[in-house]
Structure 1
Amino acid sequence: MTNPEANPDTHVCVDGGLPGPWAEREGGAPVELITARDVPLGGPRAMNVRRTLPQRQRSLIGAWCFIDHYGPNDVSDSGGMDVAPHPHTGLQTLSWLFEGTVAHIDSGGNSAHVLPGEMNLMTAGAGICHSETSTEDTDRLHGVQLWIALPEEARNRPGREFEHFVPEPVEFDGGSALVFLGSLLGTESPISMYSPLVGAEIRLDPGATLDLTVDSGFEHGLLVDTGEDVTLEGVRVPKDAVGYTGVGSRNLRIANDGDKPARLVLVGGAPFDEELVMWWNFLGRTTEEIRQYREEWQSRGERFGRVEGYVGHGGPGKNREGMGWIPAPELPPVRMRPRKNPPPHAQVQD
């Protein structure tokens, strides 16, 4: 999924300081709430997404650098997602659906359907482009799009990689989970990673509580998709928001105190200690790199390749607005200034 903003924010993430010595906690971790902002995806008939990362408040949770949450949307009239070929550098995109089907095609020659409960992971490396289009039989669309920052040793990989994984449900008293990255609840995803990470969909029955054993070296974020009375460590996390906990905890308590089932997405990882410049769909290390990426995309350079076989809602090779590819916005007229990501501890307001 592209960042569709005409004037996208620049996020320059500087290490805010890794934690010094800390004691592992059995529970009671402080919780920071990250609320979503609405962002329109595409043209006037397209859907909105709710973005919790990146924000001025916090740009990263581990190497997770982007969380877009959308739906459930009735797309029977609008057609839903119709994102023409667009570029990425220095990151991985992870697609996770609750409802609907999205057709993915990328310049690595990969073509796949994104289906509910199945993970699609695309690695941009030095450069890739792809299209995303909801299928004709999709009348409801609902899911999350996640980005993962690649570390220095992996960000310029020449290969355009794509992986697909269908996790088996893990049952526990009062719910179930689908672990799509890392290790959780006694199960481990087979997908290789460039940074220590975890990602899972968690479902909780009404009145259920999950005492979750986690890696104490990870920071975590819990996105509430459905559920009106979900708590993390006793702190209510509103629907569409993310509850954040920093490093140090070995256990997290998640509860559904409501009378309807709750569906949640948990992400976590070791603090990412590299400086990042994030603008539009590009992740780099300097303003100069971002400028170079933009110039190469605008000139349709070889860095990003070509998407073959894209059929948008406007017909072969074009979206509903008649675009065959998405041009980059104008760069800001000033140099991109560093913004320090907070240390990996929850910032709790009194």
Structure 2
Amino acid sequence: MSNLDLKPTPTPCGGEAGTGPVKDLLTGRQVPLGESTQVRRLLPNLGRRMVGAWCFVDHYGPDDVEHEAGMMVPPHPHLGLQTVSWLHDGEILHRDSLGSLQTVRPYELGLMTSGRGITHAEQSPKAHPRVLHGAQLWVALPNEHRHTAPAFEHHGSLPTVTAAGLDATVIMGTLDGATSPGTAYTPLVGADFKLREGAAHRLPLEPEFEYAVLAMTGSVEVDGVTVEPGSLLYLGNGRRELPLRARTDAGILLLGGVPFEERIVMWWNFITRTGEEMAQAREEWEKGSSFGEVHGFDGDRLAAPELPPVPLKARGRAR
């Protein structure tokens, strides 16, 4: 997955403690992704840059792509982060510079750790399902792991948690005793919930984690706040449970983690700690060094945008 903004905004974040319980409803902005996909970008957002180590959240679809190419994102680099591909409908073909070739299907985890640098491409297969609907997310790597070797994981089966009117799939981390096989480098959680109309539950939470809920489908009340598809409710930390009530059949993502204390800079598809590192990463991509090559993609790789004319500095993670 890529940030395809031609003039991406540098995002300084990290370095602050949690806020305590809050209820901040955030709406996304429309951003093009590849040749034919529009996404709603929910993180980074005005006033909110991270939820734990989760630092980038795009929600797209449901889109009818029966007569369209679907997702088509050319080869591009990543540095200092993990990407999480998550589908409710459709299929995404992943290629990377490690030689990985994997089709990711609904409720399967495609997890790529960029570490010190990787290149990948994503596209809908030529013969693909009619509907495309999912989320693309990034996780910032802590300093001790940001230069780790790049890796790709595909987990076709993930642990689940069930209750009356509720089915949850644990994407990353641990929820209610169920732990994802996906490799995590900071304490965090990502879980997908299917809720049937009228279902009401109180989810167990970790008080040291901060949380947010992304509505994928339907309408759900989260601690009394109605969350509709394409919006994100930031909940802060200090909670031991979270009231949920489904107004209709609904699908949501729960994202959480220990507040990310390190100061980072996020620009285009890179996460670094200084502007100088960012400039070096861009230069290496443009020279064709360090990030490797993707083979088998029919098309050119992405060119890096120009760096902004102001110094890139790491500051606080929110507001």
Shorter-chain TM-score: what band? over 0.9
2:268 to 280, 286, 298: 280
2:177 to 180, 186, 193: 186
Cα separation, 1, equivalents of 2:190 and 2:52: 11
1:17 deviates by: 3.8
1:265 to 253, 264, 267: 253
2:32 to 8, 17, 40: 40
User: What SS is found at the alignment partner of 1:292?
Assistant: helix
1:64 deviates by: 0.2
1:114 deviates by: 0.9
CA contact 2:91–2:104 (8 Å) conserved in 1? yes
AA aligned to 1:277 is V
1:203 maps to 194
Q: Which has the larger radius of gyration?
A: 1
2:310 to 334, 337, 344: 334
1:82 deviates by: 0.9
AA aligned to 2:271 is L
Cα deviation code 1:50-88 (max 9, x no counterpart): 010011311100000000000111112221111110000
1:126 deviates by: 0.6
1:169 deviates by: 3.4
Instruction: Tell me how large the CA RMSD over aligned residues is.
Output: 1.5
User: What SS is found at the alignment partner of 1:167?
Assistant: coil
AA aligned to 1:8 is P
User: What SS is found at the alignment partner of 1:294?
Assistant: helix
Question: For structure 2, which runs of at least 5 residues remain unmatched after alignment?
Answer: none
CA contact 2:264–2:315 (8 Å) conserved in 1? no
2:293 maps to 306
1:26 maps to none
**Correspondence list, 1:20-169, <5 A:** 29-43=21-35, 46-138=36-128, 139-157=130-148, 159-165=149-155, 166-169=157-160
Cα separation, 2, equivalents of 1:185 and 1:14: 27
AA aligned to 2:166 is G
1:32 deviates by: 1.2
Cα separation, 2, equivalents of 1:167 and 1:18: 29
Matched, 1:245 2:235: yes
User: What SS is found at the alignment partner of 1:30?
Assistant: strand
User: What SS is found at the alignment partner of 2:259?
Assistant: coil
**What TM-score, normalized by structure 1, do the two folds share?**
0.87
User: What SS is found at the alignment partner of 2:143?
Assistant: coil
CA contact 1:18–1:273 (8 Å) conserved in 2? no
Cα separation, 1, equivalents of 2:255 and 2:38: 22
1:282 deviates by: 0.6
CA pair 36-329 structure 1, distance change in 2 beyond 3 A: same
CA contact 2:80–2:147 (8 Å) conserved in 1? yes
User: What SS is found at the alignment partner of 2:144?
Assistant: coil
1:340 deviates by: 2.4
**What TM-score, normalized by structure 2, do the two folds share?**
0.96
CA contact 1:118–1:164 (8 Å) conserved in 2? yes
AA aligned to 2:190 is G
2:209 maps to 218
CA contact 1:277–1:285 (8 Å) conserved in 2? yes
Question: For structure 1, which runs of at least 5 residues remain unmatched after alignment?
Answer: 23-28, 311-316, 319-323, 344-350
CA contact 2:52–2:259 (8 Å) conserved in 1? yes
CA contact 1:199–1:265 (8 Å) conserved in 2? yes
Cα separation, 2, equivalents of 1:13 and 1:187: 30
1:102 deviates by: 0.8
